[in-house]
A and B are shown apart, each in its own frame.
Chain A
Amino acid sequence: MTTLESKELPKEIVRLNKSERIQHLLTFVTFVLLVITGYMLRMPEEWVVKLGNWGEPVFYYRGIIHRVCGVLMIATGVYHVVYLVASKEGRSFGKDMIPVWKDVKDIIHNLAYYLGRRPEPPKFRRFDYREKAEYLALVAGTIIISVTGVLLWSEGYWSKFVLDLSIMIHGMEAILATLAIIVWHFYAVHWKPGQFPMSKVWIDGKMSAHHLLEEHPLQYEQLVAEGKLAPVDETEDPKHGETGQRKGFGRRMGELVSLCSLLFCIVVSVLLLRLLYFSSTSTSVDTPETLKTSRFADYVAPGVAKKTDTHFHNVDDTVKLVIAEQPICVTCHGTLPHGKSPDIRSFLNMHNYFMSCEVCHVRRADVKGEIAYFWYDNMTEEQVTEIDESKTGNYGARLVPVATVNGETRRLDQPANPEFIKEYLKQKEHLTPEEQAEAKVILHKDMSRKPIQCVECHRRDPYIDYVAVGYSKRRAESLYRTEAADMIERYMEFYLPTMFDPNSTKKQKMKKLEVEDRSTN
């Protein structure tokens, strides 16, 4: 063979002609869009809910795009059939795709090669068994998914059984197709060493003689023998996949994208497998959560599961007391700690929203040093000098007693022995009841035996100087003159003469107040 002759022979073949590339492109684009718009019906519910107002248009266009792409994919299929029948190249493509006995032998041979039992892989023709399997799977899959898709689209003509079956098969086939594309196709054309980051055949349609020799040696031999391809010169051509040159920026980017796509596809595959095996549990993320995950609600207030999320009177966020660094009292006692005195417990709880427990539970007389009261921001714990009275108790700050001893100040809501408390909370569950009781005594040692009573503050000469702590004069007056004081007075004088009467036994009082089922729900 002279030099002139070999120059005239092409060094690469057209693996995919223009028509085949268009068919691939159409299949690729419609497939991706169909997968996205299809799985939008199976994605976790919390993602959908996050779409908010966008949900409706997204859902609308999802449906349209899915149908348009479905039609396009079917049309591509029809185009492919016409191509197979009508064109010479198509007929040759079809003929070469037909599985033959050699393919079975190739499979066994190749597996033996993988397992190290055979030194060389089998010699493949134009299409190897992998490509044939993928092609046939694509044909079968397209038919199945198209038929079920059309059935679902024309739902009014079919029985529910047919539709149920169709929707299940449509979904199953989609899972199969997506996973097959990832595991089989993407590996072969993207991630396989030698192809990484991407085979360009689908773009330019060309395959080098060298590559052909490596992957389809029988076709190579045939083309060379027919004088249609220049034989590979082992001494000239660099090894396939090892260009010998430094990798350019473009290739590095390509590799990065390809690697990312691998990770992405792994995530997608996991999600799909979850969908396949655990569909009923994976999609219903928004179940009455607490009820499903824990049996807690079964023990507490059974039967309230059906309650709507919201209070009849449309409560707002202010009912949730938010303190960035929760005071130690709240850790154990919660935000609604008062439950013993049926007559005043809700009123007492209400005070929690704007004052620390120590305001009432630590009497000034029981603490060393000078006590003053300051507002501290619930989020930053910085001192606040002014409160917005119009916000009725939701000042975003709470009143805290601060003791000054020998020039040193200490917030009374901050424990003097934080280490002990930390240790106690950590070990609480392992302590014996006796040890717990002992610890509790120490924990509460600064608490006064008798807390400040309602009337001690809500009277003309109150325990706390309201104006001094930052209330307006008018508000300060209202606290003893009108609303609170008036009500307390009404309690004592008109309705419950025994309320603060030490002579009346607690039992009597409780009996009077504990009327059966005062609930209003």
Chain B
Amino acid sequence: MNTTLKTHVLACFLMVWFCVPTLAFAADEDGCVVCHKYSGLARLDQKTGQLRLFYVNYDKFNNSVHGKVLCKNCHLNLDVIPHNNAKKVDCSTKCHVKEPSKDVEFSHGNLYAEINMSIHGKGTKDNPKKFSTDMPGCTDCHLNTVYKPVQGFDQDPGISRDTLRRCIGCHTEEDWATRYYQHFSHRLHRSKTALETAKLCLNCHQDEQMMARHNLPATANYRDTFHWKGVLYGDKNAPDCLSCHAPIGYSVHSLTSMHDPQSPVYRTNLQSTCASVDSTQQCHPGAVESFATGKIHQTEAGFDEKVAAFVKGDPVLDGVNLLERKRRYESQIESEGIDTAAIDATERFQRKVYLLVKYIYTLLITVVIGGMLIHQLMDFYRTIKNRKNH
């Protein structure tokens, strides 16, 4: 070890020793927190204007699922300051944490491969998908989740000392045992609520422009469903996107197109997906076959949308574009050789009936209530006038 390096190590040591409460920053071996604890350590990307935030709340990090992973294990090439060589974080990197069951280096590589095979995959370098930047990366959905230990009816949130006692019998190092206890108990429950999940998916899927790029209908109308209302109120039994698109038995990382026979929302699989017999949630067990027919996420520029566009001052043509887009979407389905003609004929008819009833009702309400209002106003006027004359 040369002198410079020694000074360097000493400086690092002093840095940690002097400036930081030893306990909290125990795992910050490289002293990253010395700078990254400042919430103002940020800048605007000079090319995109995007905010680049380099602040890390170390208490939260330390208590998170990645709390034991060194910064440099995910953020490669940090060895110079400023970190002008830092590589984009790749979650498939082996991060030098050994998986205790197998004693091999841990990585998210398998999930990475899985999602790349799915409809959300970005494609390969040689054969990238169209608009691959629209596709979600790991951090678009995942945060470095902070541990939320199990909480039950008879238990305060936190670590059950009683349960932990059983681990420590064999795994005598309490720190280690606590960490793994938290890891397991954390994985036992969902890190995102149904509302958070739905909003996450909607971030992209209700963006009409983005969906149009991929010839998909925007699913904003999920918000009009009873499913969404339940989710919004926090009903634990209410289905979010994953309850149907990745129910028990399917992986959220390998979502496929609804036209793929493997998909849980493929038309022949829908009945069992709606019944959801494998899940702890009992959704629609015993529902008849026709219950699970038709499109859940419809798009159609209705009367209300056109009027809304008109009132808002948007060109009314937008509504027509929506129809145009739908036609494009349908023609694409046809060009892919998917036989939708049979179901589409009935569905189109049903949709027409539905819209007709809706328009008739809207008209009925307008005429009836409008008429009533005029009648009552005249009555009011005449009654007042009469009473004055008396």
Contact = CB atoms under 8 A, between A and B. Distances in A.
B137 interface: yes
B140 A519 contact: no
Interface in A308-326: 308, 310-316, 318-319, 321
Contact of B84 (A165, A515, A521): A515
Given A280-B221, A308-B139, A313-B144, A168 B41 contact: no
A114 B39 contact: no
A168 B75 CA distance: 53
A179 interface: yes
A301 B49 contact: yes
A284 B221 CA distance: 9
Interface string B59-75: 01100100000000001
Interface in B224-282: 224, 226, 229-230, 232-236
B365 A474 contact: no
Interface in A330-376: 334-336, 338-339, 342-347, 349-354
A350 B144 contact: no
B200 A308 contact: yes
Contact of B372 (A183, A335, A344, A354): A183
A352 to B, nearest CB: 6
A304 B40 contact: no
A519 B89 CA distance: 9
Contacts of A394: 39
Nearest to A394: B39
Contacts of A393: 37-40
Interface stretch (B50-58, B92-100, B154-162): B50-58
Contact of B143 (A55, A306, A308, A490): A308
Nearest to B86: A518
Contacts of A351: 40
B223 A284 contact: yes
B43 A346 contact: yes
B369 A160 contact: no
Interface in A259-279: 276-279
Nearest to B75: A520
A48 B233 contact: yes
Interface residues of A, number: 115
B176 interface: no
Interface stretch (A72-80, A151-159, A427-435, A439-447): A151-159
B308 interface: yes
Interface stretch (A23-31, A187-195, A217-225, A414-422): A187-195
Contacts of A55: 232-235
B42 A319 contact: yes
A98 to B, nearest CB: 21
A520 B88 contact: yes
A236 interface: no
B4 A314 contact: no
B168 interface: no
Contacts of A158: 288, 290-291
B40 A478 contact: no
Contacts of B204: 305-306
Contacts of B164: none
B35 to A, nearest CB: 7
A388 interface: no
B60 A392 contact: no
Contacts of B302: 280
Given A172-B365, A176-B364, A307-B140, A156 B288 contact: yes
Contacts of A48: 232-233
A201 interface: no
A159 B343 CA distance: 14
A301 B134 CA distance: 12
A482 B88 contact: no
B229 A41 contact: yes
Interface stretch (B111-119, B330-338, B350-358): B350-358
A338 B139 CA distance: 27
A394 to B, nearest CB: 6
Nearest to B135: A306
A435 B95 CA distance: 57
B388 to A, nearest CB: 10
B190 interface: no
Contacts of B311: 278
B357 A168 contact: yes
B390 interface: yes
Interface stretch (B12-20, B102-110, B122-130, B178-186): B12-20
B383 A168 contact: no
B40 A518 contact: no
B140 A319 contact: no
A393 B41 CA distance: 10
A261 to B, nearest CB: 15
Given A159-B291, A338-B43, A519-B88, A172 B233 contact: no
Nearest to B21: A390
Given A314-B144, A349-B43, A59 B307 contact: no
A131 interface: no
A13 to B, nearest CB: 22
Interface in B316-347: none
9 A-B pairs with the lowest CB-CB distances in the bound complex, closest first: A159-B290, A59-B233, A353-B40, A55-B234, A114-B378, A318-B39, A350-B40, A172-B361, A156-B287
21 contacts: A159-B291, A175-B365, A180-B368, A187-B376, A280-B224, A287-B206, A304-B48, A305-B204, A305-B210, A306-B136, A306-B140, A312-B142, A339-B46, A346-B52, A347-B35, A392-B38, A393-B38, A483-B35, A494-B4, A496-B80, A518-B83
Given A62-B233, A308-B139, 17 more contacts: A52-B234, A55-B235, A114-B379, A159-B288, A183-B373, A184-B372, A278-B307, A280-B221, A308-B140, A318-B55, A336-B40, A342-B82, A392-B39, A393-B38, A482-B11, A495-B81, A517-B88
